[in-house]
Amino acid sequence: EPEVTQTPSHQVTQMGQEVILRCVPISNHLYFYWYRQILGQKVEFLVSFYNNEISEKSEIFDDQFSVERPDGSNFTLKIRSTKLEDSAMYFCASSVLGRAYEQFFGPGTRLTVL
């Protein structure tokens, strides 16, 4: 069964460094998302992406964040200058046209900012 994959599974970085989290969505999906979950808290929406542009973004997704689909398979989230409070699980999700609400999630990347 096709699934969303994410790399790395765990990323440790120093405050102020740039990180890139990578995702490979399910191949026939057209909508892509990033969510995050701080330990012990709710899952939070960051951004949605369709047709090579951002569809929607939350207040969390400020100028330090960017997304890109550099090729036909990868979808990346870049954090330019990480802060301690960026430490969280970051989940990528994807969905098909016509059922965008039915989102399938990857296993997540645990980001630890020291």
Partner 1 sequence: TQLLEQSPQFLSIQEGENLTVYCNSSSVFSSLQWYRQEPGEGPVLLVTVVTGGEVKKLKRLTFQFGDARKDSSLHITAAQPGDTGLYLCAGALSSNYQLIWGAGTKLIIKP
**Interface residues with partner 1 (CB under 8 A)?**
4, 6, 31, 33, 35, 41-45, 48, 55-56, 58, 89, 91, 95, 99-108, 110
Nearer to partner 1, 65 or 104 (CB): 104
Amino acid at 15: M
Closest distance of CB 50 from partner 1, Å: 9
**Identity of the residue, 39 or 84, whose beta carbon is nearer to partner 1 in the bound complex:** 39
Considering the complex, state which of residue 4 and residue 79 has its C-beta at the smaller distance from partner 1. 4
Q: How far is the C-alpha of 79 from the C-alpha of 61, rounded, in Å?
A: 10
Q: Which residue, 42 or 53, is less far from partner 1 as judged by CB?
A: 42
Picking from 106, 76, 86, the residue whose alpha carbon sits closest to that of residue 15 is 86
* Beta strand extents in 29-101 (DSSP E only): 31-37, 43-50, 53-57, 65-68, 75-79, 88-95
Q: Report the candidate in 90, 99, 85, 87 with the shortest Cα–Cα distance to residue 23.
A: 90
- Min dist CB 57 to partner 1, Å, is 9
Write down the least CB distance from residue 106 to partner 1, Å. Answer: 5
**To which H or E segment does residue 100 belong?**
none
